[in-house]
Amino acid sequence: MLRPELLRTFVRVAELASFTQAGEQLGLPRSTVSEHIQALEELLGTRLLQRTTRKVTVTQDGLVLYERGKDMLAQLDGLQGLFRQQDEALSGRLRVDMPTVMARKLLMPRLGEFLARHPALDLEVSCTDRRVDLVREGFDCVVRAGAVGDPSLVARLLGRTPQVTCASPAYLAAHGVPRSLADLAGHRLIHYASVLGARSAGFEYLQNGETRSLPMAGALSVNNAEAYESACLGGLGLIQVPLHGVRDELEAGRLVRVLEDVALPSMDVSLLYAHRHLPQRVRVFMRWLTQLLGEPGVLGPPVSARG
């Protein structure tokens, strides 16, 4: 009999190309992972993986089993939740990833509501500004701001968050308040690049519905949203940032919105996952998160500008 746990182990090894990493994600010793693969190969009468001291690769038969096995496991998870009358019965591990600022300012203050409804869930939240590999790192779903850029993933648009241009009161006192794009020649931009060494395009704005870039001076480049905001608070230059990330600072006067007449491109916020057939616990979390981010004022206005 083809036991689901054998198939689940094989799928993770195939995705990660590693017995050790698969065992870590499944909570199994490496020896158990090897036993599962050996038992599955003996049951099916074919070799599924080619193993060397350096790497693990999937055979042709293994590729066939991998594609069909993913669907089988998804259907099995769906069957297990089909007759549940209440979401409170949800259990198991749920691993998600999202941008640092979004996690700190939007998710964490409300997460207690979700966990109170589903106390048997084991939730792991990764907060990072890098683009994680959803499959290889074992995430059930991720939230991304900006372009998706990966056609192998299923993407659900949650909303669009407006961007604003900000500076600290100290910076504006020292350099003046820019009133137009022409004024930016006398100002500094804090550059954001996901990979250090790559220079940002500069100040982005909309013209006739198209995004354009204006190169700007700036002595600092960062690759983290927290550092980006902190540098602005420290008076090191202008930033362009999603409104939800700096709403508190704008309302408190720690940052000031400038160039409000210059249209900026909004930023897509999307929920990404690898397969259309998802366990009930993942679907319930995604539904809750979609409702949370869709509430009035969460991603967008209102906020009062100062200065």
The list of the chain residues with pLDDT below 50 reads 303-307
Q: Rounded CA gap, 68 and 118, in Å?
A: 31
pLDDT of residue 304: 47
Residues near 101 by beta carbon (within 8 Å), at least 6 away in sequence: 225, 226, 229, 242, 244, 245
Q: Is residue 168 part of a domain?
A: yes
Q: Show which of 55, 82, 109 is a domain's final residue.
A: 82
Q: Rounded CA gap, 96 and 45, in Å?
A: 36
The answer to whether 302 touches 243, Cβ cutoff 8 Å, is no
Q: Are residues 210 and 136 in the same domain?
A: no
Q: Show which of 34, 53, 82 is a domain's final residue.
A: 82
Q: Rounded CA gap, 200 and 243, in Å?
A: 20
Joined tokens for residue 91? 């259990």
Q: Rounded CA gap, 120 and 86, in Å?
A: 13
Q: Are residues 137 and 221 in the same domain?
A: no
pLDDT of residue 185: 92
Q: Are residues 283 and 141 in the same domain?
A: yes
* Nearest Cα residue to 249 out of 98, 104, 99, 97: 104
Q: Are residues 77 and 168 in the same domain?
A: no
Q: How many domains does the chain have?
A: 3
Q: Rounded CA gap, 73 and 264, in Å?
A: 44
For the stretch 115-166, pLDDT in tens is: 999 888 888 898 888 888 887 787 889 998 887 777 778 888 888 889 999 9
Instruction: Write the CATH number for 95.
Output: 3.40.190.10
pLDDT of residue 167: 96
Joined tokens for residue 209? 């519905």
pLDDT of residue 229: 93
pLDDT of residue 163: 92
Q: Are residues 44 and 18 in the same domain?
A: yes
Q: Are residues 60 and 136 in the same domain?
A: no
Q: Is residue 141 part of a domain?
A: yes
Q: Rounded CA gap, 161 and 167, in Å?
A: 19
Q: Are residues 219 and 206 in the same domain?
A: yes
Instruction: Write the CATH number for 26.
Output: 1.10.10.10
Q: Is residue 301 part of a domain?
A: no
pLDDT of residue 244: 87
pLDDT of residue 51: 82
Q: Is residue 153 part of a domain?
A: no
The residue length of the chain stands at: 307
Q: Are residues 175 and 135 in the same domain?
A: no
DSSP states of 84-96 as a string?
A: -S-GGG--EEEEE
Q: Is residue 12 part of a domain?
A: yes
Sole residue written with tokens 């198939």: 7
Q: Are residues 108 and 51 in the same domain?
A: no
Q: Are residues 185 and 240 in the same domain?
A: yes
Range of the structural domain that residue 261 is part of: 163-265
Sole residue written with tokens 């099916």: 44
Q: Is residue 155 part of a domain?
A: no
Q: Rounded CA gap, 236 and 275, in Å?
A: 43
Q: Show which of 33, 59, 82 is a domain's final residue.
A: 82
Q: Are residues 73 and 109 in the same domain?
A: no
